[in-house]
Structure 1
Amino acid sequence: MTISKLTQATEHNGNKVVVIKCGGSVIESLAPAFFKSLHELKKQGWQFVFVHGGGPDINKLLALYDVAPEFHNGLRKTSAETMQVVEMVLTGQTNRKLAELLGQYDFNPIGLSGSDGNCLKARFINKKELGFVGEVIEVNKSVINMLLKEKFTPVITPVGVTADGTKLNINADYAAAAVAHALQAECCIFVTDVEGIIIGDSVVSHLTPEDIDAYILEGQIYGGMIPKVESALAAVKRGVKNAMIVSGKGAIYQDAQWKGTTISRKAGYDDELSVSNIYKVGS
């Protein structure tokens, strides 16, 4: 996808925003070339909103308490006690780590918990099975837009808050998709340790959800690539216009071209994960 096409599409709604999701495992390996790419985009008027995970940091602290991490369908089971650790680590350690790194590269970051200002309003997914794990039902985009208007770069911790003030652990991939959808961001970028989706020996520049389904069935997308693809695919299915899989170990934009794989919905593509189904409270 060229930057000119991205700009034309985004100028239609006047919102030159890209949401970037960084997993906790990739933050420390983000390369100078990655930030140089963002500066090139920033010069063209683009703004960024970061959403981060923090699994490795959480696991390290839980290990000190002899608590083994438990997962159910890819989501961390979170007791009330574990939730305290999750919030403490994500807000006080991982968020600070990423914000300080962005500050070193002059992105004027502001760390923000998803519970601040009801930024990420949430509800329990399945309290019996998962504990204090939630899904985003509404994004208070006014908080984020206020920071963007003042030229800050929001760095959001995926901790949601219920109507009664209960804090919930939110999957960072889904939090990023919800933020991107709410802001009508042109793209949600998932920063990984791979350059994109590799078919054969080459990185594929663009795929539709249908393409991905076919490649998985054919066995050309397999192993550790599947979770990465599913995160980006879920974002598109949740209404985000474009999702990208890129590597944080190098440039993601160079010579007016994005590097990595762009996933976008094919006209007429439909599935059970419609936006109305995902974001309607009580669905």
Structure 2
Amino acid sequence: MKESLIVIKCGGSTMEQLPESFFAAIAALQRDGQQLVIVHGGGPAINAMLSSLQIEPQFADGLRVTCEQTMQVVEMVLAGSINKQLVRRIHQAGGKAWGVSGQDGGLLTARQTTKPLGQVGEIEQVDASLIQTILTAGYIPVIAPVGISADGKSCFNINADTAAGAIAAALQAEKLLMITDVPGILQMDAQGEKQLLAQTNAAQIENMITSGEIYGGMIPKVKAALDALQEGVKEVVICRGDADDLKQASAGKEIGTTIKGVGA
């Protein structure tokens, strides 16, 4: 596996806003020999499908409660329409992509969380062999974060940030790039204005969670980032889904918020 491998996590709330230039940049990086793996969410599309089926979405502490009916929708949307939409957009831009879910080939083995969230999974193991096979064949793996139990009897909804971090760690990726709808982690300055935090570390992130400066959907992002760094990923970048941001991040230039591991 190349040391330059980059895992890109695309949030569900940002995917519809991703411009064609973003996918053109993905295709260009692939042509230049950069190995890329994409992990995606799909929360808004899941909510829209649940609404059309007259199923009320349920959340606890910002996390989706996944009953059996909801799990069926999660599979249909994440492993189906959203996954294939991303594959199509990469192909339209001139790239080559191969869509899979975490259930395929036992890529993401998970167990049910002990939290009262229904069929939500916690990752036990990432089998990177399928990802490596797809990369070797010349395709970008596009992965839906749906896991499977070790006995194959159950499937689980997995937080996409968590899945991306675990996959980046299993691949020993050079970089985990988290695409979101904000420019990075924002910190309050002395004048009470929010400013982009260009670089940070685990201690500062923990302090910002405690103080409430990091909240909501940013919490699972930074926690997944810290887990990935602890497992050997060299750096995590949180930024917008602009083509220029993607190009600069892949080239090692400063963009968004960079979180580096110990000794990096």
State TM-score, norm by structure 2.
0.86
Give the distance between the partners of 2:23 and 2:97, measured in 1 at CA.
13
2:198 is matched with which residue? 205
**C-alpha separation in 2, matches of 1:63 and 1:215:** 35
Query: Partner amino acid for 1:171?
Result: N
Alpha-carbon offset, residue 187 of structure 1: 1.3
Q: 1:174, 1:50 → 2: CA distance?
A: 13
Q: Which of 222, 225, 235 does residue 225 from structure 2 map onto?
A: 235
In the alignment, what sits opposite 1:152?
A: 139
CA separation of 1:113/1:39 partners in 2, compared to 1, >3 Å: closer, same or farther? closer
**Cα-to-partner distance string for 1:12-57 (whole Å, 9 max, x where unaligned):** x843211111111211211244345445544553211111111111
Q: 1:250 to 1:68 in 2, by over 3 A?
A: same
Distance in 2 separating the partners of 1:23 and 1:120 = 19
Counterparts in 2 of 1:186 and 1:27: CA distance versus 1, 3 Å: same
Aligned length: 252
Tell me if the contact between 1:228 and 1:245 (Cα under 8 Å) persists in the aligned partners: no
Paired with 1:105 and 1:186, the residues of 2 have a C-alpha distance of 25
3-state SS of paired residue (2:244) = coil
Alignment of 1:267-282 (within 5 A): 267=263
Note the alpha carbon deviations across 1:53-108, whole angstroms, 9 max, x for none: 11111111111222111122332111112111110111221111111111112220
Q: Alpha-carbon deviation of 1:217?
A: 5.3
- The structure-2 alpha-carbon separation of the partners of 1:41 and 1:202, relative to structure 1 and needing over 3 Å to count, comes to farther
* 2:22 partner letter: F
Determine if the alignment matches structure 1 residue 101 to structure 2 residue 89. Answer: yes
Would the aligned equivalents of 1:193 and 1:249 in 2 still touch at CA under 8 Å?
no
Which aligned segments of 4 or more residues in structure 1 are displaced greater than 4 angstroms?
A: 215-219
Q: Could you tell me which residue of structure 1 aligns to residue 41 of structure 2?
A: 53
Query: Percent of counterpart pairs with the same letter?
Result: 41
Equivalences for residues 27-106 of structure 1 within 5 A: 27-39=15-27, 41-42=29-30, 44-106=32-94
Change (3 A) 1:218 1:173: closer
1:205-242 per-residue CA deviation (whole Å, 9 max, x = no partner) reads 221112223445566x356xx53254134322342331
Amino acid in structure 1 at the alignment position of 2:94: D
| Structure 2 unaligned residues grouped into runs of 5+ | none
Find the counterpart in structure 1 of residue 11 from structure 2.
23
- State the distance in 2 between where 1:215 and 1:138 align: 30
Which has the larger displacement, 175-184 or 40-49? Answer: 40-49
CA distance in structure 2 between the aligned counterparts of 1:215 and 1:77, rounded to whole angstroms:
26
117-126 or 37-46, which deviates more: 37-46
Amino acid at match of 2:12: G
Distance 1:50 1:180, change over 3 A: same
TM-score (ref. length: structure 1): 0.80
Q: Is residue 2:125 matched to residue 1:138? A: yes
Question: Pairwise mapping of residues 251-262 of structure 1 onto structure 2 (< 5 A)?
Answer: 251-252=244-245, 253-254=247-248, 256=251, 257-262=253-258
CA contact (8 A) 1:209 1:266 kept: no
**Whole-angstrom distance in 2 between the partners of 1:126 and 1:215:** 26
Change beyond 3 A, Cα 1:59–1:230: closer
Residue 130 of structure 1 aligns to a residue in which SS? Answer: coil
Are the structure 2 counterparts of residues 230 and 83 from structure 1 closer, same or farther at C-alpha, using a change threshold of 3 Å?
closer
Which residue number corresponds to residue 117 of structure 1? Answer: 105
Is the 1:193–1:247 contact (alpha carbons within 8 Å) kept by the matching residues of 2?
yes
Do 1:109 and 1:153's aligned partners in 2 also have CA atoms closer than 8 Å? yes
Conserved in 2, the CA contact under 8 Å of 1:51 and 1:172?
yes
- Checking the alignment, whether the CA contact within 8 Å between 1:190 and 1:246 is kept in structure 2 is yes
